[in-house]
Chain A
C-alpha cells in the first residue's frame, strides 16, 4: 500500500512538468489599472437624433360636389404645370341642361315680347270699344267695359310678374349649373408632380363630394419631416438643426394645430412633425435622408469629468481625486449629467486628476 502511495506521489509531481506548454506571445499589452483623467473645461449638452427626410409640400385635391368621372387627365408620377386639368367630372347632363335652359330663356324672352304686344293690342281694343260705348251713351256697358279694362291691366301685371319669376328661376338655375360645370374640372394650382392617384378610379365611377382624388407634390417647397417631437422638447432645446448629407441646417418647427393633433391621436394615426428651413436651400432635393438633432441641457464652459468617474452614496455624489498617487474621496456637486460627461459645479478644480473606475 505504501509503495503504491509513493508511486502515485511520484507521478503527481512529475506530470505537470511534462505537460507544461508554451505561453502565448503578448500583443501590445495595455495597462488598465489606476486609470485617471484630468477634469477639463468644455461644453456639455445632450443631443437626441430623430430620423427624418426631406419632403415636398403636398396638397390634396377633391371636388366640392359629387359626380361621375369623365376623364383622368394625368397619371401617377406625372409632372404637371399650373393650370393643367387633372380630373374632369361628367358634365354631359349639366351641359345639356344648360343648353336647354338657354333655349328656354330665349323662348321665354321672345314669347314675353309677343305676349306684351298682344296685351297692348287687347288693351287698345278694349279702350276703342269703351270709346265706342261712350259715344253710344251706353253708360252701363261702358262701366262694364272699364271694369274689363282694369281686369285686363291686372291680368297683364300678373302675367308679367309670373314671367319675371319664371325668368328669374331659369336664370338662377343656369348660373348655378354654369358654376358647377366650372367646378367639375380640377386644375393644378401650381407646378408639381402627381404623387398619388388611386388606380381604382375609372371613367364612369361615382365620386362623392370632398373625396380626395389626387395629391400633388411641389418640389420647389421643401420641408423636413420626422417622427413627432413635442412642443415641450423643442421649446426647451438649445438648438434644433437638421443634418442632410454632409451639411447642417438651422430649422424651425412648423406650429401644430392642436385640434388636428388631437384628431390624429384619437384616430390612432402616427404623428409626424415638420420643420422649415430658416434659410433658402437650393441644393437640397426631395427624398434626401435627414436627421433632426435636438440639442438640450447645453452648458458652455463647464467643468467636466467622465461620468464613469462618479460614485453615488446616500444621495451624495463623490469621486476619487488622485493626490500623490493615492485616491482621495471627495464629495462634489454635479450639474448637467449625460452618459459620457458630467458637469461639476462644486468640489473640483480644472486640471485635477480623477480616478476612472472602469
Chain B
C-alpha cells in the first residue's frame, strides 16, 4: 500500500513539472496562428514575352537532280567516262554507246529517195516531150476550132506538168528530211552532262549490253540551289520562318541564318512531305562542310503579354488558379490561360499587372 502511494506520488512529481515547462524548443500559444500558410518565393505579374523554340537536325538536299538516259533505241553500252561522286562540267561526255544502225531502214530510205528522184526526172522528161509533141501537132492544124481546142489541151498539159513537178518536189523533200533524221539518229552515241554538277549514281552496265530509250543510266545533281531539309511532322517549322543553323562540331560550331522556303503548313494534307526546306541567307567566306547541322527556330512568340512562371499555376477540377498575396492575405485567383510551355504561362484574364503571386 505504501509502495503504491509512493509510486503515484513519484509519477505526479514527474508529470507536473513537464506540464509546466517552457522550453524554447516548444512553440508557445502566442506563436501559433492556425489560419496562416508559409511560402518562400513570390513573383510580380509583369508584361513580357512568351516564347518557344524548336530544334531539328538538318541534312543537305539538292533539288536540281537529273536522271540521264540515252533517249535512243537500238543502242549498246560501250563505257562510262565518269564515276560516282565525280564533279563534271556542262558538256562533258559521261557515257558512250554504239548504235545498232538499222541499215535496212537507212538503205531503204535512200533507195526510195533515189527512185523517186529518178522517176521524177524521167516522168518530167516524158511530160515535156508530150507537150513538145502537142505543140508540133498544133502547128499543123488548120481548123480554127480544133486549133483552139489544141491550144487549151496544151495549156492543160503545161498546168498538169507544173502540178506534177510541185507534188514530186514536195514528196522528195519529205523523203530527204526523213532520211536525214535517220542519219542523225544513227550518229548520236554519246551522253553529255547537261549542267555542272556531281554524279550520284551510275547504273551498272556491261560492255555490249543493250540500252533502251529512257532507261536511266546516270543520276547527277547541280550544286547550286542547295537547301537544308529537316523533319517537320509536327509543323513546328512554318513557311517563311527565320531560322538559325549551326554547322560543325559542338565545340566549334558556325552559325548561319536562313529561312524556311517550303513547309507543309501552307499545303493541303494530301500534298504534305513531312519535311521543311531551309534556304541559307547569303554569307561571306568559304562554304562550310555540311555536317552536324541543327536548325533552330522560334515556333511560338508573343510579346507584350502577361506571363507568369508555370510553377505558380495549379489545376483544380479543370480550372487553373494561382495564389495571390493581397494585403498580407492569400487569395485564390482563377485565371484564363492562353498558352503554356515548360516554364511560362501566358495569362489572358484573371490577373492584373503588378499582382503578387506565390511561386512556392
Q: Which residues of A are interface residues toward B (Cβ below 8 A)? A: 2-3, 5-6, 9-10, 13-14, 16-17, 20-23, 26-35, 37, 45-47, 49, 51, 53-56, 58, 60, 75-78, 103, 107, 110-111, 114-115, 117-118, 121-122, 124-125, 128-129, 131-132, 135, 193-197, 199, 202-204, 212, 215, 217, 219, 225, 243, 245-247, 269-270, 285-289, 291, 293, 306-308, 338-341, 356, 358
Q: Is the CB of A358 within 8 A of B7?
A: no
A47 to B4, CA, bound (A): 79
Shortest C-beta distance, A166 to chain B (Å), equals 16
Q: Is the CB of B334 within 8 A of A10?
A: no
Shortest C-beta distance, A217 to chain B (Å), equals 6
Shortest C-beta distance, A253 to chain B (Å), equals 18
Interface string of B298-338 (1 = CB under 8 A from A): 11111111000000000000011000010011111111101
Shortest C-beta distance, A286 to chain B (Å), equals 3
A196-B163 CB under 8 A given contacts A125-B153, A356-B332: no
A9 to B11, CA, bound (A): 7
Q: Is the CB of A125 within 8 A of B152?
A: yes
Shortest C-beta distance, B89 to chain A (Å), equals 20
Q: Is the CB of B266 within 8 A of A195?
A: yes
A124 to B335, CA, bound (A): 108
Compute the total of residue contacts between A and B using a CB distance below 8 Å: 239
Number of B residues contacting the other chain (C-beta, 8 Å)?
A: 89
Q: Is the CB of A202 within 8 A of B67?
A: yes
Cβ of B303: which chain A residues have Cβ within 8 Å of it?
245-246
Q: Is the CB of B225 within 8 A of A78?
A: yes
Q: Does B187 sit within 8 A of A, measured CB to CB?
A: no
Q: Is the CB of A77 within 8 A of B10?
A: no
A21 to B23, CA, bound (A): 10
Cβ of B31: which chain A residues have Cβ within 8 Å of it?
23, 26
Nearest residue (CB) in A for B6 is: A6
Q: Is the CB of B302 within 8 A of A37?
A: no
Partner of A55, one of B4, B66, B265, B279: B265
CB-CB contacts below 8 Å: B1-57 with A: 3-4, 7, 10-11, 14-15, 18, 21, 23, 25-27, 31, 33, 35-40
**Can you give 19 A-B contacts (C-beta < 8 A)?**
A2-B7, A9-B11, A13-B11, A29-B36, A31-B33, A31-B329, A75-B63, A111-B167, A135-B145, A195-B266, A199-B63, A212-B271, A219-B240, A270-B269, A289-B301, A339-B320, A339-B350, A340-B350, A341-B350
Q: Is the CB of A46 within 8 A of B269?
A: no
Q: Is the CB of A196 within 8 A of B36?
A: no
A114 to B164, CA, bound (A): 10
Interface-central residue, B37, B156, B319, by most chain A CB under 10 Å: B156
Q: 12 other contacts beyond A27-B40, A53-B238, A217-B239, with CB at 8 A cut-off?
A: A2-B3, A13-B11, A17-B18, A29-B33, A32-B329, A37-B331, A49-B338, A118-B159, A203-B67, A215-B267, A339-B319, A340-B350
The 7 closest A-B pairs by CB, nearest first: A287-B240, A286-B240, A246-B303, A33-B35, A77-B261, A287-B241, A75-B63
Cβ of B260: which chain A residues have Cβ within 8 Å of it?
287
Q: Is the CB of B335 within 8 A of A129?
A: no
A196-B267 CB under 8 A given contacts A28-B39, A32-B37, A245-B303: yes
Cβ of A33: which chain B residues have Cβ within 8 Å of it?
35
Q: Is the CB of A13 within 8 A of B330?
A: no
Cβ of A13: which chain B residues have Cβ within 8 Å of it?
11, 14-15, 18
Q: Is the CB of A132 within 8 A of B269?
A: no
Cβ of A247: which chain B residues have Cβ within 8 Å of it?
304
Cβ of A129: which chain B residues have Cβ within 8 Å of it?
149
Nearest residue (CB) in A for B279 is: A77
Shortest C-beta distance, B247 to chain A (Å), equals 19
Q: Is the CB of B349 within 8 A of A30?
A: no
A46 to B25, CA, bound (A): 52
Q: Does B160 sit within 8 A of A, measured CB to CB?
A: yes
Cβ of B225: which chain A residues have Cβ within 8 Å of it?
75, 77-78
Nearest residue (CB) in A for B302 is: A243
Shortest C-beta distance, B163 to chain A (Å), equals 4
Q: Is the CB of B145 within 8 A of A58?
A: no
Q: Is the CB of A114 within 8 A of B159?
A: yes
Cβ of B149: which chain A residues have Cβ within 8 Å of it?
125, 128-129, 132
Q: Is the CB of B25 within 8 A of A20?
A: yes
Shortest C-beta distance, A291 to chain B (Å), equals 7
A118-B156 CB under 8 A given contacts A49-B339, A340-B335: yes
Cβ of A35: which chain B residues have Cβ within 8 Å of it?
329-331
A16 to B160, CA, bound (A): 141
Q: Does B111 sit within 8 A of A, measured CB to CB?
A: no
Cβ of A45: which chain B residues have Cβ within 8 Å of it?
349
CB-CB contacts below 8 Å: B167-221 with A: 167, 170, 214
Shortest C-beta distance, A108 to chain B (Å), equals 11
A36 to B163, CA, bound (A): 115
A60 to B66, CA, bound (A): 24
Cβ of B166: which chain A residues have Cβ within 8 Å of it?
110-111, 114
Q: Is the CB of A269 within 8 A of B349?
A: no
A132-B146 CB under 8 A given contacts A17-B18, A204-B214: yes
Cβ of A287: which chain B residues have Cβ within 8 Å of it?
238-242, 259-260
Q: Is the CB of A246 within 8 A of B302?
A: yes
CB-CB contacts below 8 Å: B272-309 with A: 273, 277, 279, 298-305
Q: Does B227 sit within 8 A of A, measured CB to CB?
A: yes
Q: Is the CB of A58 within 8 A of B37?
A: no
Q: Is the CB of B162 within 8 A of A114?
A: yes
A27 to B334, CA, bound (A): 25
A246-B145 CB under 8 A given contacts A35-B331, A125-B156: no
Q: Does B96 sit within 8 A of A, measured CB to CB?
A: no
A128-B37 CB under 8 A given contacts A49-B338, A286-B240: no
Q: Is the CB of A128 within 8 A of B160?
A: no
Shortest C-beta distance, B251 to chain A (Å), equals 31
Q: Does B148 sit within 8 A of A, measured CB to CB?
A: yes
A309 to B305, CA, bound (A): 27
